[in-house]
Structure 1
Amino acid sequence: MKQRIAIIAGVIVLVGLSAAGALAWMNRAEPFNDRDVSFASNMVPHHVGALEMAEVILAKEGIPAEVQDLAARIEAAQQPEINQMNDWLKAWGTPSMAGGHGGHSMMMSGMMSETDMMALEDAQGIEAARLFLEGMIVHHKGAVEMAQVEVDGGKFPEAVALARAIIEQQTNEIAEMEVLLANL
């Protein structure tokens, strides 16, 4: 009799532990959410667009050194961020995004239109610098908006940290570009 009670008690404990484990597994916190995926999926082509703009201005002659320096810093900062976000998307089982100004991503906040991008490509010297700065200010403001959405609702700590860094860095660059634009 005592053995039966012990066996029944053991079974009850095992069933309870199994149920608790199953419940914990079902309620486990996902390491990322839809906002994180949306942030990375949209920010990658947005960053690619910034790289395209920077490449155009870096290939031109007659651009003020401060503007070229800014374009080089944008390239240096955003390419590693693109790589990191693509790594996250791959780990999350989400296709990575390419984008840029040639794709559907022109609808994203701050993306240059094809016409504006062609004007930048065709412009020379100070006019090219002006178009770059005006376009990149709008582009950065769009990135700051996108990053704020991630900060407000993202779950993946690394993505939220990157979003905060983007907000800080690009807000500082907006201020820098406004000064450069005023001094052209």
Structure 2
Amino acid sequence: MKLCKLIPISLAAFLLLTGCGSSKSNTEDYLKEENAIMDKMMEEMDKAQNTGSAELDFLNGMIPHHQSAVEMSKSYLEYAGKDGEFKGLAENIISAQNKEIDQMNTMTERFQKAENPDPEKEAAYLEDYRTLMDKHHSSHTAAETSDLEAAFAQGMSMHHQMAVDMAEIILKYTEDEELTQFSQNIITEQEKEIKEMQSYLDKNTDGGNHKH
């Protein structure tokens, strides 16, 4: 018989809040992890350029971007526990984006073997990419909420929007069928998830603060 079942109800309730059978739930700690993940991602993405191929530049930026989405989702699940509002969404992000990372690694190998540099196209792509990165650097602000669900939704919505923007840029510079379909899928799926998170924020937050 589990220890929790033998404890009086009042004490069991206290232990539930402090760790017996529960996940971490401190929003400030979650946000610290999210910010560390985002900082690491931006550092990796800033390095992803100058391969001679716009397609490779895109993949070298999108892979760490996907990895950070997976890490943010795992962090959220650790803090939210089994009853988290976005448990299903976070699990789907982990599953879907891990598969997409595998696909991007395979595409990366294919583009590297092609050895078909196009510096002019790459330069145009990188100009758009750097403009996008500057925009997201300047617009990114830490979530101002004590609600874990809102914190995750705000952070992941911004993160998803960056992926959508990146995918829209590469579509201007690639004729590769697989990469085109891959990028279009990112736009479709992540815009859908942005709407889901934004719907929660519209209903449950007021100026970044949780509604009581």
Query: For this structure pair, what is the TM-score category when the shorter chain's length is used for normalisation?
Result: 0.5 to 0.7
Residue 59 of structure 1: SS of its match in structure 2? helix
Alignment counterpart, residue 198 of structure 2, candidates 140, 161, 178: 178
Q: Residue 130 of structure 1 contacts residue 181 of structure 1 at CA under 8 Å; is this kept in 2?
A: yes
**Greater radius of gyration (CA):** 1
Which 5+ residue runs of structure 2 have no aligned equivalent? 1-51, 114-132, 205-212
Q: Residue 35 of structure 1 contacts residue 153 of structure 1 at CA under 8 Å; is this kept in 2?
A: yes
- Cα deviation 1:121-177 (Å, max 9, x = unaligned): xx9xx7222111101111111000000011121122101100000001111111111
Residue 92 of structure 1: CA displacement?
2.5
Which 5+ residue runs of structure 1 have no aligned equivalent? 1-32, 95-106
**AA matched with 1:38:** D
Report which structure shows greater RCO (CA 8 Å, sep ≥6): 1
The alignment covers a number of residue pairs equal to 133
Q: Residue 109 of structure 1 contacts residue 142 of structure 1 at CA under 8 Å; is this kept in 2?
A: no
Q: Residue 147 of structure 1 contacts residue 164 of structure 1 at CA under 8 Å; is this kept in 2?
A: yes
Cα distance in 2 between the residues matched to 1:158 and 1:180: 33
**AA matched with 2:151:** L
Alignment counterpart, residue 93 of structure 2, candidates 48, 51, 74: 74
* Alignment partner, residue 160 of structure 2: 140
Cα distance in 2 between the residues matched to 1:109 and 1:54: 24
Residue 93 of structure 1: CA displacement?
2.5
**AA matched with 1:76:** S
Q: Cα gap change, 1:88/1:109 in structure 2, threshold over 3 Å: closer, same or farther?
A: farther
Q: Does 1:37 align with 2:56?
A: yes
* Alignment partner, residue 104 of structure 2: 85
Q: Residue 67 of structure 1 contacts residue 180 of structure 1 at CA under 8 Å; is this kept in 2?
A: no
